[in-house]
Structure 1
Amino acid sequence: SAIGAALAGWHGTAMLCYVTPKEHLGLPNANDVREGLIAYKIAAHAADIARHRPGARDRDDELSRARYAFDWNKQFDLSLDPERAREYHDETLPADIYKQAEFCSMCGPKHCPMQTKITDEDLVGLEEVFKAQALENQSVRL
């Protein structure tokens, strides 16, 4: 139902009402309500991004910067479900020292692709090269 909610939001609906995973199967408990709320929070956020609402991507962009900087606590705080984000992280890397680690549990410290630090200036320069190439390819086709 959250996918439908995201599409409804994208098309301009004014209000989304969450649905629990147990809808029409049983009475929801507190965790079912929590899961439904988080799913709809994500759906509403996706709809805001799809509608290009001003500021909708700010949180995502900040979260991406926190990921790049391995700022785990900021990642948790910025996530749409901070409690679950901490829970998932601590399931694999429970010690407090891993809150400052510059790697995650997927690749570990030896194979982390994020270890190659690229500066913002490098990215802007690379973006300019890609734009120039795209314009060049467009003019060749015309």
Structure 2
Amino acid sequence: LGELTKKAWAHDVQVMIEGPGHVPMHKIKENVDLQLKVCKEAPFYTLGPLTTDIAPGYDHITSAIGAAMIGWYGTAMLCYVTPKEHLGLPDKDDVKTGVITYKLAAHASDLAKGHPGAKFRDDAISKARFDFRWKDQFNLSLDPTTAKDFHDQTLPSEGAKLAHFCSMCGPKFCSMEITREIRDQAKDGMKEMSKKFVDKGSKIYHKA
């Protein structure tokens, strides 16, 4: 590949190197480093790679694991894999699943590399989740339609979009709502103690 790259460049031909499609996790970085060295950092793209071969029907997942890692390590482009890989010709739903899965892998890679745009979006949806802004959470997700459909399967009413809980933990055991309540209690407690401090003359030390 390195020799062919040099020959192509010598004739002003653009080059993109296709990487292997099946690489175990512990050899992914080694593969990227070797390609960049041998091919003089020509753009590298991969179909995955799949990190294991034991999951026909789920190769969009086995490959997305490798894709997230190899994207982090420096590949230039990720080629998506569908659930039908190795089994048959994908339909439009398979393509949708594959593309969304790979958008997720690419985003995870961007986060690991410190890409500011990726972090901004991640922080935005995390804040929306903590604030129970359900519609913002749906709209900021990679697949808003599926996110909304999953939520509405158990809490379909429009009022549920304002609720401070989902059907996983319910209103009494939501960790985020409990955290909000504890913060509010701490804030109120601080105000109360501050008032006591002022009422006693705002003195740090008192005579025994």
The aligned amino acid for 1:34 is K
In structure 1, distance between residues paired with 2:74 and 2:133: 35
In structure 1, distance between residues paired with 2:115 and 2:161: 33
Match of 1:40 among 102, 112, 137: 102
Q: Kindly indicate whether residue 108 of structure 2 is the aligned counterpart of residue 55 of structure 1.
A: no
Report the equivalent of 2:136: 74
TM-score by length of 2: 0.55
Where do 1:13-32 residues align within 5 Å? 13-32=75-94
In structure 2, distance between residues paired with 1:60 and 1:53: 11
Bigger Cα Rg? 2
Computed over aligned residues only, the root mean square deviation of the Cα atoms, in angstroms, reads 1.4
The aligned amino acid for 2:105 is A
Task: State the SS of the aligned residue for 2:118.
Answer: coil
Task: State the SS of the aligned residue for 1:26.
Answer: coil
Task: State the SS of the aligned residue for 1:80.
Answer: coil
In structure 2, distance between residues paired with 1:3 and 1:114: 29
Give 1:15 shift.
0.7
Unaligned runs of 5+ in 2: 1-62, 188-208
Match of 1:101 among 140, 163, 166: 163
TM-score by length of 1: 0.80
Whose helix proportion is higher, 1 or 2?
Answer: 1
Give 1:54 shift.
2.3
The aligned amino acid for 1:88 is F
Larger relative contact order (Cα-Cα within 8 Å, sequence gap ≥ 6): 1
Aligned residues: 120
Task: State the SS of the aligned residue for 1:25.
Answer: coil
The aligned amino acid for 2:100 is I
Identity of aligned residues (%): 62
Give the ranges of 4+ consecutive aligned residues of structure 1 lying more than 2 Å apart after TM superposition: none
Q: Kindly indicate whether residue 70 of structure 2 is the aligned counterpart of residue 8 of structure 1.
A: yes
Give 1:104 shift.
1.0
